[in-house]
Amino acid sequence: MNGLRAFAKTFWIGGMWVIGIVVAPVLFDVFANDRATAGMVAGRLFQVIAWIGMVAGLFLLIDLIAREGVRGVKQGAFWLILGMLACTMINHFGVTPIIANLKLHMNQAAEGLFGGGFATWHAISSLIYLVQSLLGLAYIVKADN
């Protein structure tokens, strides 16, 4: 079970960091003249890592409770995982649909006029992702998980 736990942590948290810090910026650099394609691919990658996070996070919570019982709820690891899951679900089910809806109603001519909503929600999503990534780092660094 230790191996599966390590895999879940690595796949989820490592994936978040690689996509957020390496892949997304590279996409926007390579596709500098086609930001729509870069955004579409990055969005799909964030969607995939969100689902990976939901599965891995639930597994890690269940595993922690199975190992520690009710005492597990008192551990920092429990709250870090729960915080990461909350960030994932807020972004995936709350913020991402708003961004997708704003994209549907934007075109090149209207982007300057209505782009503020998109920019605001994108910034909110990015901040949530940053908080989630930092919680993941704290979880990885924590010695008692």
Going from the first residue of the chain to its last (145 residues), give the mean pLDDT of each consecutive group of 10, the final group possibly shorter: 91 96 94 90 95 97 94 93 97 94 68 65 94 96 67
| Cβ proximity of 26 and 42 under 8 Å | no
pLDDT of residue 103: 80
- Fill in the amino acid letter for 69: G
- Asked whether the beta carbons of 16 and 135 are under 8 A apart, the reply is no
The pLDDT score that the predictor gives to residue 116 is 60
What does the pLDDT read at residue 117?
82
- What's the pLDDT at 101? 87
CA distance 56 to 14: 12
**What is the predicted pLDDT for the residue at 23?**
96
Query: What pLDDT does residue 109 have?
Result: 43
